Amino acid sequence: MGRSQLDRSQPGSPVAGGPAAGAVGPDADDTGCTVLHVDMDAFYASVSLLEHPELVGRPVVVGGAGGRGVVLSATYEARALGVHSAMPMSRARRLAPHAVVLPPQHHRYAEVSAGVMEVFRSVTPAVEPLSLDEAFLDVGGALRRLGSPRAIAREVRRRVEDEQGVTCSVGVASTKFVAKLASSRCKPDGLLVVPADRVVDYLHPLPVSALWGVGERTAEHLQRLGLRTVGDLAHTPRATLVRALGAASGAHLAELAWGRDPRPVVAHAREKSIGAEETFSSDVDDETVVLRELLRLSGLTAARLRAAGTVGRTVVLKVRFADFTTITRSRTLEEGTDVSRDVYAAARRLWDGLRLDRARIRLVGVRVEGLSPAEAAHRQMRLDERDRGWRDADRAADRAAARFGASSITSASLLRGGRGDPGSGPA
């Protein structure tokens, strides 16, 4: 995978965006630009292609293939045809009839993400993950050791590609907002530096939709007010914005329009929960089918906990009915766990407590909250602890899945083709 045009360009090469666009680029002045936003390029699709190199360069869509499946990710070849994440798979197939559809590999995504985050933390301890595939880095403390912010950004991109086989785009700026904006505008596989003294010149020609927090409806509302560019918004009295958008949103956008974003990079921000959910291809009223799905989701959730190096104490069950009514129930365990059997047992008790009678179910989900580092929790366990064998079995299954694919090993309960109650869990 080659470098983006932005990274191959010469100093001062223009970037679309306005009259001062020549002041930004991969070789622009990075003095004071110690915030990096690193965003992986079509992450889930790129990771899936590592096992399917023959599909590189073709439109590929990752997601559920059922009637209600949605797109998790798509290669840039598929995006050029109009496919995007969260789109119904049925629509994606109409837009890109020749695209290859691959099932998600969540364990593999977590594994590659962990490797990417390790690259970030080897550069600076000030890493703020936003999701599996993006993070902010404050490299102010690494300049003496590693060089300029631009040099650090290039080294991060090189190492991520060399060590994990996927590419990323990096925005370099003096604030989180501008760094994130820059990374989004140099995709794929690009590097963009926005000099600290050129932020306003860079921002003002951009459409208002470029501002963090401006969605489709807000953008339409601003355009009805005659505010089409960030500059238009910046030169509108704050009181007018507050009346039009509300106190919080109006003040927030007024600050961003002038490039003001005082938020620091918050290191070691951890996920608040880890889980998985599934929308059935058609509404389900068979309890056995629901329990089998809860068993699968519990195993997937526990695998994600182990991949993230965390355990959790609170198990949450989510159920959405055919009329889209959604309920959640939770159960807190005595201690944190990352064991599939424990997660399913709690989810099963929560399901039994609902006492549903032939209710038609559209979606079920399992989530674990109250997360903490797994290492500390495991040090406290006794050698003769009853569930030690289950934890070891889960880890052996993780290793098999990493080596032979996620479908290489599964619970015997899930191989019964829907016949019979899954019982207490994996067997």
Locus of tokens 């961003």: 256
Which amino acid is residue 220, in one-letter code?
Answer: E
Report the C-alpha gap between 315 and 347 in whole angstroms.
Answer: 7
DSSP state of 322: T
**Catalytic residue numbers?**
134
Three-state SS string across 239-265, please?
Answer: HHHHHHHCHHHHHHHHHHCCCCCCCCC
Burial 262-289 (b: 16+ CB within 10 A, else e): eeebeeeeebeebbbbbbbeeebeebee
CA dihedral 45, 47, 50, 52 (to 10 degrees): -30
Give yes or no for a contact between 351 and 326, defined as CB atoms under 8 angstroms apart: no
Q: Quick one: which of 151, 187, 182, 139 has its CA closest to 167? A: 187
Report the C-alpha gap between 396 and 426 in whole angstroms.
Answer: 14
Tokens of residue 9, six digits: 């360009």
133 known member of a binding site:
yes
Tally Cβ neighbours within 10 Å of residue 419: 8
Locus of tokens 């919080």: 248
Residues 6+ apart with CB under 8 A from 352: none
Q: What is the DSSP string of 125-172?
A: S-EEEEETTEEEEE-GGGHHHH--HHHHHHHHHHHHHHHHS--EEEEE
29 known member of a binding site:
no
Q: Quick one: which of 322, 315, 328 has its CA closest to 279? A: 322
* Triad 355, 361, 367: Cα angle to 5°: 80
Residues 6+ apart with CB under 8 A from 162: none
Per the annotation, where are the binding residues for Mg(2+)?
39, 133
Per the annotation, where are the binding residues?
39, 133
